[in-house]
A = this chain, B = another copy of it.
Amino acid sequence: MTDFRDMGERAQRARTFAGKLGPEEKNKALLQVASALTGRAEEILKENEKDLAAGRANGMHEGLLDRLQLNGKRIEAMAEGIRQVAALEDPVGEILDTFTRPNGLLIRKVRVPLGVIGIIYESRPNVTADAFSLCFKAGNATILKGGSDAIRSNLAITAIIREALASAGLSPDCVQIIEDTDRAVTTQFMKQKAYVDVLIPRGSASLIRSVVENAQIPVIETGTGNCHIYVDREADIDEALPIIVNAKTQRIGVCNACESLVVHEEIAKAFYPRFREAMEQAHVEIRADKKALPYLPGAKEATEEDYRTEYLDYILSVKTVQSLDEAIAHINRCNTKHSDAILTRDKKSADRFLREVDAACVYVNASTRFTDGFEFGFGAEIGISTQMLHARGPMGLKELTSYKYQIEGTGQIRR
């Protein structure tokens, strides 16, 4: 059984330790971790081969085996990711605000680490290194709970990181991993409120739902993206088609891919035939409403279920609307508050869409695929938040911090 008390106390000590480190110490350690991972790639690959063999024996399908598989190039990419995190600005200690009260109290709002971050994830072993490096750079201690499919790879990667931290003179407990792969242990982990400040689940919708339902620790919900593109009456069709193809097909299994198209009826006649051709070329199946079907021979009729579905596949739902109002209402009803776009040359419609569509990222005339920490210039990403609290959209280093107030007085008492 996992000893959460021991693990939690180690994490709390490591968190105090990590929170005091300066940028140079953290960056030096990160570079050493990167070297250790590439230098000891053979050890990781040996353990990864065992995970793959177990996966094959259990009949794991090709897509999952591919996510699980490591090789020299992927380990190098992991190390390169860590080096990039080392190069980012340290968010800890940033002064967010300073003000003086009439009684003379000087109040400073200062950025501090979140504390102990729990990451619950699935089969990609690269998350192990990714999550550690971001949390550590933001001054946090991390407890990892990876999927059982990748457990041997994850243990190998974590052991190498811990040894590299120790040889850099730092606390190896800045990252710990739960070795037990029993599901009951995951549920127990979600209740360790005394030791863990925040949980970030990364993975499938069902994993995230389970964390949200069972956790007694604040959770940052990430992931599900039922993203829409609205083709307005005033859209430029030549510009619209490449954006739609890009958002739908540039990478199919990601949360910022477009899953549903909303089309103003006044552009339907000009738009739908060209759209149909573009989707045919891109091998995308269309599921459309009754108004659109006459323009889209061969398309299936869409159900309400379709409008609620994040396909992560070569399928796109289509809905024809009579107005911008109807488009906004439809999107707000069906979206997952992730990313939605309007394609239009009408500035007024664009502005209303930007204001009234409720999503972390709202676009005018661009692909939803840009919802991403790197594309936003954050230099890194721990996930994309779809909740309202704390952080929304791409989360980088700053989103892995909190703040505190430092108040300096000269003997003030409250009257």
Contacts and interface: CB of A to CB of B under 8 A. Distances in A.
A369 B242 CA distance: 59
Interface in A368-415: 369-371, 375-377, 387-390, 392-393, 402-414
Contacts of A349: none
Interface in A55-70: none
Contacts of A219: 218
B388 A402 contact: yes
Number of copies: 2
Nearest to A411: B239
A34 interface: no
Contact of A99 (B101, B354, B366, B377): B377
A220 B19 CA distance: 23
A114 B342 CA distance: 23
A392 B388 contact: no
Interface residues of A, number: 67
A134 interface: no
A250 interface: yes
30 contacts: A20-B355, A101-B375, A107-B376, A112-B358, A114-B389, A115-B358, A115-B388, A197-B387, A197-B389, A198-B389, A218-B219, A218-B221, A218-B388, A218-B389, A239-B411, A243-B412, A246-B414, A359-B404, A360-B405, A364-B407, A364-B409, A365-B408, A365-B410, A366-B409, A367-B412, A369-B413, A370-B412, A389-B389, A390-B390, A392-B402
Given A246-B414, A369-B413, 17 more contacts: A99-B377, A107-B376, A112-B358, A114-B389, A218-B219, A239-B411, A358-B404, A363-B407, A364-B408, A365-B408, A366-B408, A366-B413, A367-B414, A370-B407, A370-B409, A388-B402, A392-B402
Interface of A: 16, 19-20, 99, 101, 105, 107, 112, 114-115, 193, 197-198, 212-213, 216, 218-221, 236, 239, 242-243, 246-247, 250, 332, 350, 354-356, 358-367, 369-371, 375-377, 387-390, 392-393, 402-414
3 tightest Cβ-Cβ pairs between the two chains A and B: A366-B409, A246-B413, A369-B414
